[in-house]
Amino acid sequence: MLQLKRTPFHERTSALSQAQNWRRWAGHIVLGSYDLGLDREYWGIRNAAALIDISPLLKYRITGPDAAALLHRVTPRDIHRMSVGQVGYTGWCDEEGKLVDDGTIARIGQEDFRMTSAEPSLRWLEMNAGGMDVRIVEESDALAALSLQGPNSRRVLNACCETSLDGLKYFRVADNTLAGCKVQISRTGYTGDLGYEIWLQPEDALTVWDALLAAGHNYGIVPCGILAMDMARVEAGLVMLDVDYTSSHAAWIDSQKSSPYELGLDWSVHLDKEGYFVGREALEREHRDGPAWKMVGVEVDWEGMEKLYAAVGLPPQIPAMAVRGSLPIYNGTTQVGYASTSTWSPVLKKYIALAHLQRPYYQTGTALSIEVTVEHHRRTAPARVVKLPFYEPEWKKK
Amino acid sequence: MNSYDAIVIGAGHNGLVTANYLARAGKRVLVLERRAIPGGQAVTESFGEDWTVDSLHAGGMLRPDIVRDLGLNIPAPAPQAFTAHTDQGVLRIGPTLTDAASIESIRAFSAADATRWPEFVAFMNSCAQMLDAVYAVPMPRELPHVDLRREGLPMAKLALRLRRMGKRDMFRFIRALPMTSLELFEEWFESVALRAALASVAIHGHTLGPMSAGTGYTLMHNWLNRGGLAAPQHAAGTGSIVRALTEALLAARGEIRTGSAVQKVLIERSRAVGVRLASGEEIRAAVVFSGADPRHTLLALAGERELAPEFSWHARNIKMRGAVAKVHFRTDGRHGIAAGTHAVAASLKHMERAYDASKYHEIATAPYLEVSTRGETVSVHFQYAPYKLKSGDWASEGKRLEEIALATLAPLFPALAASVRGSRVLTPMDLEREYGLTEGDVNHGQLAMDQFFFMRPLPNWSDHRTPIAGLVLCGSGVHGGGGISGATGRNAAKQYLGGRVG
Ligand SMILES: Cc1cc2nc3c(=O)[nH]c(=O)nc-3n(C[C@H](O)[C@H](O)[C@H](O)COP(=O)(O)OP(=O)(O)OC[C@H]3O[C@@H](n4cnc5c(N)ncnc54)[C@H](O)[C@@H]3O)c2cc1C
């Protein structure tokens, strides 16, 4: 019988769960939220420190003389230029330049990398490793992971780690010892806030969890589920596989596929890098011609929303969590795109959406309208294209 | 640094044909051959002590248009007999396929078969001509889409050519391609001996048995290359072809360097710009042709790092699996074997069992053999000797091939054993190591139904291109290839000179 797996933190997370709001994530169950509502957990991310179990992430360890060459070939990033201790975010493509998946790549040593992904990637890595002297080991279950996000996260870690985190720059990784346990800590996250991810042995999971909660007590630490993180990642303009784009390996038709340019990941495509990489020719072509689509931010006009609801005698109704349903976006009466995720942003006090728009409507400032369902009737509210991210606190990269 | 208009990797007959076409079109061409002598499998070479042998391919012919185009001087091989030694008796056909003696020989087994024989020969000749035409047309690049401007006309001509076979033969041809030779011959002939004789030609050189699908096609293919049943042997050896090609190339100011193994195709931004030799020397060229097999060319010479993952996965899966070995005997001349081609083909079932052994990675102990002689030399084509062995390895098993061959031939040619003065065995491992054939596959990729026509070497890559611009395949592994004919060498050169590849 198919059994969803539990993470190494299950004993703690399940004990704290009030809502029994379990969600599936890569074959595991994790908590969507601990409380009935998301407020406390969301504000934990934005105002204090939120502790999130991200163990279900798929993780691969790539070692050997050709480790860098393999990742250089698989991704559009210039991996050879990464220094030891650096972490890079990137998507990776098929030969047609369409995204297969995305994740982070950490250069742990000269010939030692860790890659994370949303979907199983072992076969793809192995297919690309032909003729290379490289070892690819899946360590998804062999490695537990926690994300500690929020403006207080560094203070919490400094209170329980052997080595201070003050020197660890944005998107860097280093070894550390936490409550006597060997861990690796990267300054990364999926919230767009100051934050860290802690990579540890599963047998140390409970010790590390307890130590973090204890150390965080004075800093307002909150165990946080993945739904609050989902709101935060939209504010940060970060994409999610299967929500904001479909893997080219899973798409039924070509138009379901997206290129990195279409998702606004231009900065992670290094066309000036040396040698072949998967999708190079197609990406060069798209770079020349400009993408036909682009994912941008859209802000929904609040007064417009108020008017729509006022007409039926209600104040604006906002969903309690990020909405993953596709919403049409119009220029006048012509549909020119769709929102793949939309959410109320508590910190911005705005209704925002990750929107996929056709050229030329993705220009910042373009006035459009988005579908809103008001008391079972489809209406449209005025909206405007804005730059991503929606929210970036000044302490994120400091 | 040296620079050429074109480099051709491998001086097999196809590489030499390509080089000749290019040189005659005014290109500066350099052919690089890893062995000490040119010729590839069409070689006639010395095994030392004045012993000169057609070491791999017994006889062969280039297509007449190639001989004409390149102004080659190759004396035509004299027609020879094909003799099948079956468990029903000896069947002798030729030197002309339908001469009176041949028909009488068949009549000894079956009067009905003797009556049908001329019709069968006419049908096979018609099939071979059809294949010849198909082999002259590189297949469309993105089937089912056909680029009307570039590919439409040649394809339409082929369709018309097929139509001109006549309604009956057209259907018979299409239907015979995927058939097993067993079923094909059961429909035509009642004599077990005649069926066995024909089946031996159908399976010759292929890792297939008479009960394998697609041996209808391989019979037509071999019939085309042989011009019938017997191997077209040259008085001066198969190497006559190579000699003529080499002389013509040098006369057209082409260059050949032997002892020059290419180690890598130099690639800059997914474009071939030259080669690096095993010695480290680098030579640049505007285009690089490879007459080496596609798997070696793509995976070793271009390298998987330069190829898209799906593509290299497909390239890794090109079916090679050679199962052919050669045993050469040097005799005192009194071997007692008549000139011509001798198939040792007891029966169709017998050959199928020999093939079965290769499926299980064993040497066939009751093999199918083809024997030919040139002066004092008796050359034995040994099938099946699979490249991968279940037990033992080819370093030690070579001797067994010789023993099995001698034991099998002794009852048929009683004088042979006593006449033997020396021998030389070429195992599938030798074919790989010495002659550069991946997995000892003489055809650079099996002519199996999932690897023929528009699927040779890979689906939609049968127009000589590779994913690397400027790297063009010209050897037997592409559509049109297998056997000595020069078709792929010619087609590759024409594709390039016509601006369609490269
Ligand atoms: C015993 C035997 C029986 C056969 N029977 C049949 C048959 O019945 N039907 C049939 O269709 N075919 C048959 N064949 C196969 C046929 O002989 C070949 O298909 C044909 O000779 C191939 O010619 P080619 O020029 O394409 O390649 P080859 O003759 O193989 O030439 C390739 C050349 O490239 C060279 N080379 C390889 N790698 C490198 C490198 N890295 N650098 C430099 N040079 C390199 C090799 O040394 C070789 O000289 C048979 C072959 C043998 C040996």
pLDDT surpasses 90 at A183 = yes
What's the confidence (pLDDT) of residue A359? 93
pLDDT surpasses 90 at A250 = yes
Provide the token pair at A281.
């020719």
Query: Where do the DSSP E strands lie in B10-105?
Result: 29-32, 45-46, 52-53, 82-86, 89-93
For residues B331 and B321, what is the distance between their CA atoms, to the nearest angstrom? 32
CATH topology of domain A239-258+292-398: Elongation Factor Tu (Ef-tu); domain 3 (2.40.30)
Facing residue for A131 by CB, picked from B267, B270, B304: B304
pLDDT surpasses 60 at B335 = yes
A275 vs B: CB within 8 A: yes
Ligand 1 atom closest to the CA of B35, numbered from 1: 47
Q: Do the bridges between strand B3-9 and strand B282-290 make them parallel or antiparallel, or are there none, so unpaired?
A: parallel
**pLDDT grade for B362, boundaries at 50, 70 and 90:** very high
Please state the rounded mean pLDDT for residues A76-97.
Answer: 97
B304 vs A: CB within 8 A: yes
**pLDDT grade for A90, boundaries at 50, 70 and 90:** very high
For residues B146 and B151, what is the distance between their CA atoms, to the nearest angstrom? 6
Burial of B266 from C-beta contacts in 10 A (0-12 / 13-18 / 19+)? middle
B159 vs A: CB within 8 A: no
For residues A142 and A120, what is the distance between their CA atoms, to the nearest angstrom? 15
Distance from CA of B268 to the nearest CA of A (A): 7
Scanning every residue of chain A, which has its alpha carbon at the shortest distance from the alpha carbon of B310?
A127
What's the confidence (pLDDT) of residue B141? 84
Task: Provide the ipTM.
Answer: 0.82
pLDDT tens for A300-316 read 999 999 999 999 999 99
Ligand 1 neighbour B326 (Cβ under 6 A): yes
B303 vs A: CB within 8 A: yes
Q: Do the bridges between strand A377-386 and strand B45-46 make them parallel or antiparallel, or are there none, so unpaired?
A: unpaired
Lowest-pLDDT choice from A317-321, B109-113, B298-302: A317-321
3-state secondary structure (DSSP) of residue A175: strand
Please state the rounded mean pLDDT for residues B74-103.
Answer: 95
For residues B114 and B269, what is the distance between their CA atoms, to the nearest angstrom? 62
Look at ligand 1, atom 17, and give the residue with the nearest C-alpha.
B483
Contact yes or no for A276 and B313 at CB 8 A: no
pLDDT surpasses 80 at A385 = yes
Nearest 5°: the CA angle B88, B93, B96 is 170
Please state the rounded mean pLDDT for residues B88-111.
Answer: 96
| Residue pair A156/A49 in contact by the 8 Å Cβ criterion | yes
Radius of gyration for the alpha carbons in chain B, expressed in angstroms and rounded: 22
Contact yes or no for B309 and A124 at CB 8 A: yes
What's the confidence (pLDDT) of residue B146? 85
Q: Please report which helix (H) or strand (E) contains residue A264, including its range.
A: none
What's the confidence (pLDDT) of residue B147? 85
The mean pLDDT of chain B is 96
- Enumerate the domain spans of chain B: 3-76+236-319+444-497, 108-226, 324-439
Provide the token pair at A36.
């009935």
**pLDDT grade for A166, boundaries at 50, 70 and 90:** very high
Ligand 1 neighbour B61 (Cβ under 6 A): no
Residues of B in contact with A128 (CB under 8 A): 309
Give the predicted TM-score (pTM) of the model: 0.90
Q: Does the domain spanning B3-76+236-319+444-497 belong to CATH 3.50.50.60? A: yes
B299 vs A: CB within 8 A: yes
| Residue pair B439/B321 in contact by the 8 Å Cβ criterion | yes
> B57 C-alpha to center of ligand 1: Å?
9
| Residue pair B94/B79 in contact by the 8 Å Cβ criterion | yes
pLDDT surpasses 60 at B1 = no
pLDDT surpasses 90 at A147 = yes
For residues B317 and A236, what is the distance between their CA atoms, to the nearest angstrom? 45
CATH topology of domain A59-139+259-289: Alpha-Beta Plaits (3.30.70)
What's the confidence (pLDDT) of residue A397? 87
Q: Please report which helix (H) or strand (E) contains residue B228, including its range.
A: none
What's the confidence (pLDDT) of residue A344? 96
B305 vs A: CB within 8 A: yes
B273 vs A: CB within 8 A: no
Q: How far is CA B478 from the centre of its chain?
A: 12
* % of chain B exceeding 70 in pLDDT: 100
| Residue pair B275/B262 in contact by the 8 Å Cβ criterion | yes
| Residue pair A146/A208 in contact by the 8 Å Cβ criterion | yes
Facing residue for A127 by CB, picked from B270, B306, B309: B309
For residues B175 and B173, what is the distance between their CA atoms, to the nearest angstrom? 5
Ligand 1 neighbour B62 (Cβ under 6 A): no
For residues B422 and B403, what is the distance between their CA atoms, to the nearest angstrom? 13
Ligand 1 neighbour B321 (Cβ under 6 A): no
**What interhelical angle do B13-24 and B487-497 show, nearest 10?**
30
Residue reference for tokens 């709001």? A21
Give yes or no for a cis peptide into B95 (omega within 30° of 0). Answer: yes
B268 vs A: CB within 8 A: no
| Residue pair A193/A232 in contact by the 8 Å Cβ criterion | yes
DSSP summary character for residue A144: E
Residues of A in contact with B265 (CB under 8 A): none
* % of chain A exceeding 90 in pLDDT: 96
Ligand 1 atom closest to the CA of B262, numbered from 1: 42
For residues B37 and B44, what is the distance between their CA atoms, to the nearest angstrom? 10
> B372 C-alpha to center of ligand 1: Å?
19
pLDDT tens for B287-299 read 999 999 999 999 9
Residues of B in contact with A281 (CB under 8 A): 270
Residues of B in contact with A95 (CB under 8 A): 308-311
The CATH number of the structural domain formed by A5-57+141-224 is: 3.30.1360.120
Residue reference for tokens 């010495």? B434
For residues A230 and A24, what is the distance between their CA atoms, to the nearest angstrom? 14
**pLDDT grade for B140, boundaries at 50, 70 and 90:** confident
pLDDT tens for B145-187 read 888 888 889 999 999 999 999 999 999 999 999 999 999 999 9
Q: Do domains A5-57+141-224 and A59-139+259-289 have the same CATH topology?
A: no
Provide the token pair at B105.
């020989």
Scanning every residue of chain B, which has its alpha carbon at the shortest distance from the alpha carbon of A96?
B308
Torsion sign across C-alpha atoms B298, B65, B161, B131: negative
Annotate B34-43 with b (16+ C-beta within 10 A) or e (fewer).
Answer: bbebbbbbbb
For B410, other C-beta atoms within 10 Å of its C-beta total: 12
Facing residue for B299 by CB, picked from A131, A132, A275: A131
Distance from CA of A76 to the nearest CA of B (A): 13
Please, which residues 89-108 of chain A have a Cβ atom closer than 8 Å to chain B? 95
- Enumerate the domain spans of chain A: 5-57+141-224, 59-139+259-289, 239-258+292-398
pLDDT surpasses 80 at A343 = yes
